[in-house]
Amino acid sequence: MAKIVYFSVTGQTKRFVNKISIAEKIEITLHNPFIEVGEPFILVVPTYVAELLEPVYDFLETGRNQTNCVGTFGGGNRNFANLFCFTVRDLEAEYGIPVLHTFEFQGSATDVEKLEKELDTIENANRSTEKSSQLF
């Protein structure tokens, strides 16, 4: 099953991620930022000043997490105008992790569909890797 790693301060991102049933979800908290995820995953993060997101930065600096992060989904609020979802854009600039999609608050049905589609792509890639390794 494909994996979603997420961080949530006020619960909106958690509510978004909980609408997805086709993935294993791992929450980054203040207590576990140094966990290592040993396979491809999508990172879902809300937008705040970097100080508040320290656990996310710690997580991305751990092991091979940066390499295994296929891309990000950024949560935010369009009232912040040109600061809408700046966090995921910062992560892209700093680590080269692509922004796959941005959404507001707990996401719409369309946002959920987008995430499911990205997870399907990961799952299909995992399956074909498994198949080709069985051939050898």
Applying CB under 6 A, which residues contact ligand FMN? 8-14, 46-48, 75-77, 80, 83-86, 105
Nearer to ligand FMN, 12 or 65 (CB): 12
Nearer to ligand FMN, 57 or 84 (CB): 84
Residue identified by tokens 């950024």 is 74
Nearer to ligand FMN, 27 or 123 (CB): 27
CB of residue 103 to ligand FMN, shortest distance in Å: 8
CB of residue 50 to ligand FMN, shortest distance in Å: 11
CB of residue 136 to ligand FMN, shortest distance in Å: 43
Residue identified by tokens 């991305």 is 60
> Within 13 Å and on the Cβ side, how many CA atoms surround 43?
31
Nearer to ligand FMN, 33 or 63 (CB): 33
Structure token digits, residue 104: 């507001």
Nearer to ligand FMN, 13 or 65 (CB): 13
| Whole-Å CA distances, 57 to 29, 34, 111, 117 | 12, 10, 24, 26
CB of residue 12 to ligand FMN, shortest distance in Å: 3
CB of residue 7 to ligand FMN, shortest distance in Å: 7
Residue 98 has what DSSP assignment?
Answer: P
Dist. CA 91–CA 73, nearest whole Å: 11
Dist. CA 14–CA 124, nearest whole Å: 25
